[in-house]
Structure 1
Amino acid sequence: MTLRHLAIVMPAYNEVEGIRGFIDEIRSAVAPLADEVSFHIADDRSTDATAVQFDDVADTTVVVQPANRGHGPTALAAYRAGLAADPDALVHVDGDGQFHGADFPRLLRALTGEQADVVHGVRDGRTDPWYRKTLTGAVGLLIAAAAGRRIPDVNTPLRAYRPEALRVLVEAVPADATVPHVHFSLAEARGGFRVRYVRVASIPRRGASTTGTMWGRGGGLPLPPKRLRVFVRAALTEAWLLSLRPSAPLRSVRRPEPVRR
């Protein structure tokens, strides 16, 4: 398997401590699989030096967003940047580096070898606080009921896509969506997309500070932070309006016909 062009897309916020090493690790892992590898970072108005870490790196482009908007809109901006580069495969991963670069080739082999539209990296050994794990499980049950089948790790940020399939999803989801990956997962299940799942290791965020993650790193907090509680309410409302109610617009998303290059 040799890809013509592989694009790695990444939303980031205050990840200066680990992002460059993470990208170096990914590059080393995927370079044998593609003639060209490019990295596209959407920086969510970081307050540290994340945005200038790659000024001297030719294969990495950083676009600072016009405002701090949170993970969902920034992830969608990263996807759009990657699609604009005209790759024949695209991988999304968060900038906090909670995966091993060595797992990326496994997703790409599943994408190309199994004729998939999308491959989800299903996280093993998550180190997130209990309330984030609980939230993921609850959302998973809700989406399973709506989709008619269980979707492992419904909100995983590690995903490999064929661009023609991804373009349909990105164009269907509003640019300001809070939980685009939840919408993607449900649309893929309902719309006949060929989805494959690969189990991958989940590791702690790269970096010692807590400023680069929206919800904090510790696992011992007795209650979810207020910001997360507000986020959950907004996300559930959005999921109902866009994906779950009988007249939801994303119910009409369907798998596109494959593009032959």
Structure 2
Amino acid sequence: MKCSIVIPARNEGPSLQSLLPRLQALGIADEIIVVDDGSTDNTDVICAEFNARVIQHPYSHGNGAAIKTGARAAQGDIIVFMDGDGQHDPADIPRLLSTLESGMDMVVGARSGGSQASIGRGIANSIYNKLASYMTGHRIEDLTSGFRAVRGDKFREFLHLLPNGFSYPTTITMAFFRAGYSVGYIPIAASRRTGKSHIRPLRDGLRFLIIIFKVATLYSPLKIFVPASAGMFMIGIGYYLYTFVNYGRFTNMSALLLTTSVLIFLIGLISEQITQLMYKD
């Protein structure tokens, strides 16, 4: 089977200069595609020097958009996605492919605790992993890793779900589990990135919080809405018992809490039906 390597890059010239020859030395890839996401450095020149195929965005569309562009252009049956900032070691690619060939549909490079960019990012990723593991019923070791090997035809089934920003790994992992595809993990050690990160903690913090809820509703909304509904119902019953014992009556607040619990459940039920339609094919 043919193998394509797709690298989204935005001003990653220095790291690409050392990464591309290492990829070529492996002799695994039938093509190396660098999606230049509106770079203002010499990314295109460096790629041409090492005979990598370059697809240029006229301006930055986002990491996820670059991934989608690369996936559409890739001709290989297997696609390896990796970052262009020097964090991922090309020597790990044979292990990804070997695990994929054992019957997996996607294999993810799971970063060790010491490979996280910061303590805060490490804590956030741990929360994502636990939430996703709860939603899927499978242990998810690294929900946000951008280093992975996939079967191209299956990956392209979900291009319409992928966001243009930095959360594509989260979405595609949950989509594969929802569709019943096999997902595996191999441990990797990620290096410190070369250059400056494009993620801004303050701006992206809220966005990643929203991603948590998007992940939940993408996979199985009832797993979020049912506990929330049950919690609200128990609060309503508890408040009703309190007011009945102390005042001998059923209050408007009790009615509001119980009605809200029913509404939350119904919204979750509708969300579940919509999710089913997303995966009907």
What TM bracket, shorter-length normalisation?
0.7 to 0.9
> By how many angstroms is 1:226 displaced?
1.9
Q: Of residues 83, 88, 101 in structure 2, which corresponds to 1:94?
A: 83
Matches of 2:166 and 2:215 in 1, distance apart? 9
Q: Helix, strand or coil for the counterpart of 1:41?
A: strand
Deviates further, 46-55 or 6-15: 46-55
> By how many angstroms is 1:196 displaced?
1.8
2:230 is matched with none
2:9 is matched with 12
Matches of 2:210 and 2:58 in 1, distance apart? 22
Matches of 1:183 and 1:108 in 2, distance apart? 21
> Aligned AA for 1:25?
R
Q: Helix, strand or coil for the counterpart of 1:55?
A: helix
Contact 1:73/1:175 (<8 A) preserved: yes
> By how many angstroms is 1:149 displaced?
2.4
2:44 is matched with 51
Residue-by-residue CA offset, 1:156-177 (whole Å, 9 max, x unaligned): 111111122212222x414636
1:107 is matched with 96
Count of matched residue positions in the alignment of Structure 1 and Structure 2 = 231
C-alpha distance 230-254 of structure 1, shift in aligned 2 (>3 A): closer
Higher relative contact order (CA 8 A, sep 6+): 1
Q: Of residues 165, 174, 182 in structure 2, which corresponds to 1:186?
A: 174
> Aligned AA for 2:43?
T
> Aligned AA for 2:95?
R
Q: In the TM superposition, what are the counterparts of 1:225-244 in structure 2 within 5 Å? A: 225-236=201-212, 238-239=214-215, 242-243=218-219
Contact 1:73/1:178 (<8 A) preserved: no
> By how many angstroms is 1:229 displaced?
2.2
Matches of 1:62 and 1:7 in 2, distance apart? 13
Matches of 1:69 and 1:90 in 2, distance apart? 21
Q: Of residues 179, 188, 203 in structure 2, which corresponds to 1:200?
A: 188
Matches of 1:74 and 1:234 in 2, distance apart? 22
Greater radius of gyration (CA): 2
Q: Which runs of 5+ in 2 are unaligned?
A: 222-267
> By how many angstroms is 1:240 displaced?
5.4
> By how many angstroms is 1:250 displaced?
5.5
Matches of 1:178 and 1:243 in 2, distance apart? 19
Contact 2:64/2:162 (<8 A) preserved: no
Residue-by-residue CA offset, 1:55-109 (whole Å, 9 max, x unaligned): 2443x11112243132222222222222xx2x12110001112121111111111
TM value normalised by structure 1: 0.78
C-alpha distance 252-57 of structure 1, shift in aligned 2 (>3 A): farther
Equivalent pairs: percent with the same residue? 26
Contact 2:62/2:164 (<8 A) preserved: no
Q: Helix, strand or coil for the counterpart of 1:17?
A: helix
Contact 1:143/1:151 (<8 A) preserved: yes
TM value normalised by structure 2: 0.73
C-alpha distance 13-204 of structure 1, shift in aligned 2 (>3 A): same
Contact 1:79/1:92 (<8 A) preserved: no
> By how many angstroms is 1:237 displaced?
5.7
Q: Are 1:24 and 2:12 matched, yes or no?
A: no
Contact 2:111/2:145 (<8 A) preserved: yes
Structure with the largest fraction of helix: 2
Matches of 2:127 and 2:116 in 1, distance apart? 17
